[in-house]
Amino acid sequence: MQVRLQKLLADAGVASRRASEKLISEGRVLVNGQPVTQLGTKVDPETDRVEVGGRVVRPVEERVCVIVNKPRGYVSTVKDPEGRRTVMELIGHMGVRLYPVGRLDMDTEGLLLLTNDGELTNALLHPRHEVPKTYVAEVDGLPTPETLSRLRRGIRLEDGPTSPAEVKVLKSTERGATLSITIHEGRNRQVRRMLEAVGHPVSFLKRVRFGPLDLHGLKLGQHRFLNMAEVARLRAAAGGARAPRAMRRRSPDAGTAAPRASAQTSPPRSNQAGLTRSGSKRVTRRGK
């Protein structure tokens, strides 16, 4: 069966779909010994020989999805040219090439997904599917009801207006507030920019939910494999993204070695994980 060349590369873990398109446009992909630069070119993985950088690309039948509770101080990339720590150091060698599903900035903690399933990644990140992502933010100052209404309606940023957000006040003190904010987009540093735009800079930010998944049982710095049911729920949240012909069957507790103790292996429940500040002993539990 023929598939688009960039999809084959993304599914095989060579690069993301967009990065694969760039490789093709630059003439760095060979099909049966000849460079191909036309986007949308279709190949048959069973009969065509596809090479990138002198290496043969083989279709990946098995898919792996990993959930990580990312601490601050790690960048959400496979490699970093500045030599900073990456999330790949948290999961160790998996035997397959995994890529982050979107990004959390270096100063943000929380839920990050990694996978070699390019189609699922694209579906989860596509704006039309509006997959919700929930954050807990500690901000300076006390937002007024009018400010909360502005966030809920959507506000204008330098790259355009945001979609309406779900905002709740979890806790307030004389110095600031703790908010739960759910967005359905994935712009760069969006939550931080939204809150700064309304006069409440973020001092601490953690993503606690991505679609149907939360951080239940996963301590800061830990990871675990998603089970089949969890991946199915992700696909449903992403507009029913088509499942590959095979997916790697791993027990939820396999490969959870990380810089911290082993994670619990029970499937995620709907309650919110505890929030822990990196490098701090303070642990608080808050409702959504």
Which residues have a catalytic role annotated?
105
Listed residue (220, 182, 179) closest to 67, CA to CA: 220
The CA distances from residue 200 to 141, 175, 225, 284, in Å, are: 6, 11, 36, 22
Count of beta carbons in the 10 Å neighbourhood of residue 10: 25
**Contact in structure between 244 and 234 (CB atoms under 8 Å):** no
- Residue 175, classified by CB atoms within 10 Å of its CB into exposed (0-12), middle (13-18) or buried (19+), is exposed
- The token duo for 52 is 């990138």
What does the DSSP assignment read for 90-101?
HH---SS--EES
Parallel, antiparallel, or unpaired for β 202-210 and 109-115? parallel
**Contact in structure between 226 and 239 (CB atoms under 8 Å):** no
- The token duo for 85 is 């720590």
**Three-class DSSP category at 167:** strand
Q: What gap in Å lies between CA 286 and CA 159, rounded to an integer? A: 32
Count of beta carbons in the 10 Å neighbourhood of residue 130: 13
**Three-class DSSP category at 287:** coil
- The token duo for 200 is 């409440």
